[in-house]
Every structure is written in structure tokens, then in C-alpha cells.
Structure 1
């Protein structure tokens, strides 16, 4: 009886504290709400509505944002009509570069967490494969250090962003941001950014090349001229992590960027 009671107490303790999946374990992404992204290329300039907030975080408004032709976007959900044609797409605006978002952010606005869901004609988008520079399951946002044990601390660290439209961005965390949502503070102007000019894959690593330097991410200077002047190595450590919170488990993956450890959300079990 004593052993039985101790077992119940231990089980309750596991439910109340964050748990970590060891390196030997694997997350069954088919059994959880994995961040599975579909990628599309705009066939023409497309204007969408995007929600933004001011610096106080209290005033919300809708702005029009034009996506140039050949812009790569991602979506975690889409719809088709009775002919099987794409007629609705939920664009992940947070994953686009500042270069595209600048017209609606340059006045000091922050992107709202709400992404637009709007119907479009199928002719405006073409389904494409995941770009080589994008990580599987990740939304492109990676955060420096270890996965925190407290949910409120998840984004209180520097961020590297690999955008859907092919930019490498670095955001330095600013604890003085007036916005209550900590992730909003990252979607203003990045500390440094550059267009990704090439990607090479080998094993569990990928190398991103840029023509200009992105200070803060750990790039190596390799050429004096051309599109391959700076190189950044990103390596999947295959060390999945999970944290249990009130709204359900969150699943994370570790990477090294320029030799330093980062984590990114790859799925959750709240849906």
C-alpha cells in the first residue's frame, strides 16, 4: 500500500512540473499538432489585410500590405472550392521579412498575433516545395539558449529569424518593450538582416550564404566579393524537448546557429 501511494504521489509530481524528453526519445509529430507549413509563391502582387497595434499595445487597426510578385509565403491552413482549387489561405504574416512588412511597421507599429484569413483566386498563388533555407516544422523563429521551464519566459532572449521569403534576420531582445505580448517586440525593425543568396544541405546541417553580414548570428566571412561572402551553419541536434503547461504540452527542437544553441517550437498538443 505504501509503495502504491508513493507511486501516485510521484505521478502527480510529473504532471505538475515541466518534463523534458531525453535525447533517446522521439516526438511522434503525427500524434501532436505539429507545425506543418504549406508554401506558396505569389504569381502577381497580392494585397492583404494585416492587423497591427501601436506602441501601447492598446489600439488595434487593420492595414493593407502588398506582397510583391514571387514572394514565398507559408500557411498552416488553406481551403479549396468544389473544383479542388485553392480559394482560401491563412498567411503566416509573422514569418515574412521586415523588408516586406516595412510599409506597415515603419511608424512603430507591431504586428498583431492575428493572421489574416482571406479568400483569393487560385491564380494568385502556386504551391511550391519548402525552401531549402527553411527548417521543417519550425515557423522560422529560433531563440537563444535552453528551453525555459516557465512559459512566460519563452521569448525573453535574442532571436534569429529565417523568413519564408528568404531573409536571415537577427533581433536583440528588448526587455523595455511596452507591449504585453513579448513576441510582439521582435517584429519591429531587426537589429541586422540580409537576403539569403544560397543554401547548401549536408546531413543534419545547412549552410546559409549572404552577400552582406548579419551581425549577431555567428557568420563566417569566406569571400571578398560575390553572393557567397558570409556563411552561417545551422545544425539540427535531434534533441527534442517538451514542456507541460496549463494549455497543453509544447514541443521544441534544439539547433545550433553559428555554434550556439537555439530552440524553436515545432508543435503543441493544445488543439
Structure 2
């Protein structure tokens, strides 16, 4: 379930993403050419999504905390800078455990907002949050999954349609929506740059960003309310003033798919959403082996 490195392979194309390194997933990944079999794409079941979906734990900082940002330039070089996470910041985290007890919390799969990064990221193409905090220190504590979070995955959605989407993912120009752990919705336009041997398809600065002020859940839909229009998405103005002027609707279409490369026994699982009036998809999780005949792993 998204443990370690995930490889999505298509005919004449391989996309490699390292789960712990969120900039590559959120910003486009490492893209290189190879020769492979035809991709496998097939409708799957909600049971498979539940079995293989990546769930996230969330934590809130109880005091200001100085974390590291790993920054990436077009030269291919990395540099580390410090960013202060204010008290109350919610992050996703991966715990080390001693039995049932948490020992150390590491940065998780869901990214934090550009608002937290913007003071130190000028001139860089990607910025990945990095921290390791002893849970016994009281610096952070576990909280419930925020209402704005998606059920599984990295809280990132791409534009597109099922079945014929994946072979084209790295050669078309999909828009991206990111829902951050600290409660922002960010929209990104495709903007590819080469950074050393890495291709980054989405820049660190979003095209538009808004703070979520209220969330409603009804059936398969999530409603985000915020003050200002989010550029690049079809939100709706529902009030003339105040913090809830705009509403963005995300509806799970309940059409899960499995896709991947049978040669490598690597499969991923995706769910499709309508966001405003457009179709989006998100990666929920992954497994090493998938049997298309039985729909089991």
C-alpha cells in the first residue's frame, strides 16, 4: 500500500514515484523512456480500493516547530532550509511504533500548503516537508482525519477520463488539484521543467490557493466553502460576503479502476470524481500483485 517506491509502467513510458518524496508525486515525478508491455486497465471493486487504499494519520502541532524543507532547483541540486510550522498546523504523519505506542512521527503522504512554504521556496521548483518528531515530546498529538481529506491517497486529483487516460498522463497537460493537510485547496497548471535528471510537471507555487473555511458531507459529495474564487476550477458563488462566498463540490463517482503493468506485477487503484463540472481522478493505493480474472491481490 504505497510502501516504498511505486512504478507505473506504460508502453514506451515509465513513471517512477517515491512515496516518501512527495514533491515527485505532487509535481510530476521522474519521467524516463523504456520499452514495456501494454498497460493493464480494468474496472475494479470498492472492496479492492478499501483493501489497498493508502490511509493517512493526522497530527496537530501543539507549539511552533521548525521543520526542514528539501528544495530542488533546475540544476538538479537539493538544498535544505528551515520553515516554521505554526502552533495548530495539521500534518499527515507516519509513525514508528513500539508495540501499539507511537515513538517517532515522520512526515506523511499529504502535502502542506504553499502558504507555509512560500517564504523560503523562491527560485526552487519543488519543496518537500521533512520532519521526525518524538511523540513523547508533546510537540504534536494525533487528531481525527480532517473532514476535507479524501478517503485514501495523497489528496491530489488530476483532470481526465477513465480507461484511455493513463498512457497519456505524462504527455498531455492535465490540471491538478491538491487538498493540503492544513486545509487549503490549491490548483496547478501543467508546467514541465527539467531539474537534473528529473522532470517536474507542476511547480511549487500553485496557480491559485484558498483556505477552506467550512466543509459539508452529503452522500458521495464533499462541499468546500471559502472566501475567494479558486482559479482554474468550477466553483460556485453562493454568498455575496463573508468567509463562505464560494462552494466547490467534489463528488465520488464510485467507478474504481485498477491499472498497471502485468510484467512488473505492480498495480495501482484510482477513483474518479467530478469537481465542479469536470472529471478528475486520484490514486488511492497500490499492490504488488493483482489478478484481473478474480479481482483479488
TM-score above 0.5, yes or no: yes
Residue 69, structure 1, aligned to residue 87, structure 2: yes
How do 1:27-106 and structure 2 match up within 5 A?
27-29=47-49, 31-32=51-52, 34-56=53-75, 58-75=76-93, 77-81=94-98, 85-92=101-108, 95-106=111-122
Q: Name whichever structure is richer in strand by fraction.
A: 2
SS in structure 1 at match of 2:118: helix
- Structure 1 residues 202 and 258: alpha-carbon distance in aligned structure 2, compared to 1, 3 A threshold: same
1:235 counterpart residue number: 251
SS in structure 1 at match of 2:119: helix
- Could you tell me which runs of 5 or more consecutive residues in structure 1 were left unpaired when the two chains were aligned: 1-14
SS in structure 2 at match of 1:212: coil
TM-score, reference length from structure 1: 0.82
2:41 counterpart residue number: 20
- Structure 1 distance, partners of 2:270, 2:255, is 9
Kept after mapping to 2: 8 A contact 1:55/1:110: no
2:132 counterpart residue number: 118
Root mean square deviation, CA, Å = 2.5
Kept after mapping to 1: 8 A contact 2:191/2:203: no
- Structure 1 residues 110 and 89: alpha-carbon distance in aligned structure 2, compared to 1, 3 A threshold: same
Residue 145, structure 1, aligned to residue 160, structure 2: yes
2:223 counterpart residue number: 207
Which among 198, 221, 224 is matched to residue 237 of structure 2?
A: 221
- Structure 2 distance, partners of 1:155, 1:195, is 29
SS in structure 1 at match of 2:204: coil
- Please report how far the alpha carbon of residue 27 of structure 1 lies from its aligned counterpart in structure 2 after TM superposition: 4.4
- Structure 1 residues 156 and 243: alpha-carbon distance in aligned structure 2, compared to 1, 3 A threshold: farther
- Please report how far the alpha carbon of residue 159 of structure 1 lies from its aligned counterpart in structure 2 after TM superposition: 0.3
Deviations 1:137-179 (A, max 9, x none): 031110011253338628841101111100011101114x223
- Structure 2 distance, partners of 1:67, 1:36, is 23
Q: How many residues align?
A: 248
1:4 counterpart residue number: none
- Structure 2 distance, partners of 1:55, 1:93, is 24
Kept after mapping to 2: 8 A contact 1:94/1:111: no
- Structure 1 distance, partners of 2:205, 2:57, is 26
- Please report how far the alpha carbon of residue 39 of structure 1 lies from its aligned counterpart in structure 2 after TM superposition: 0.7
- Structure 1 residues 67 and 247: alpha-carbon distance in aligned structure 2, compared to 1, 3 A threshold: farther
- Please report how far the alpha carbon of residue 217 of structure 1 lies from its aligned counterpart in structure 2 after TM superposition: 1.0
TM-score, reference length from structure 2: 0.75
SS in structure 1 at match of 2:229: coil
Kept after mapping to 2: 8 A contact 1:209/1:232: yes
- Structure 1 distance, partners of 2:110, 2:172, is 14
Q: Name whichever structure is richer in helix by fraction.
A: 1
2:31 counterpart residue number: none
Deviations 1:66-100 (A, max 9, x none): 2111011012x211357x65331221376110001
- Could you tell me which runs of 5 or more consecutive residues in structure 2 were left unpaired when the two chains were aligned: 1-35, 290-297
How do 1:182-193 and structure 2 match up within 5 A?
182=199, 184-193=200-209
Larger Rg: 1
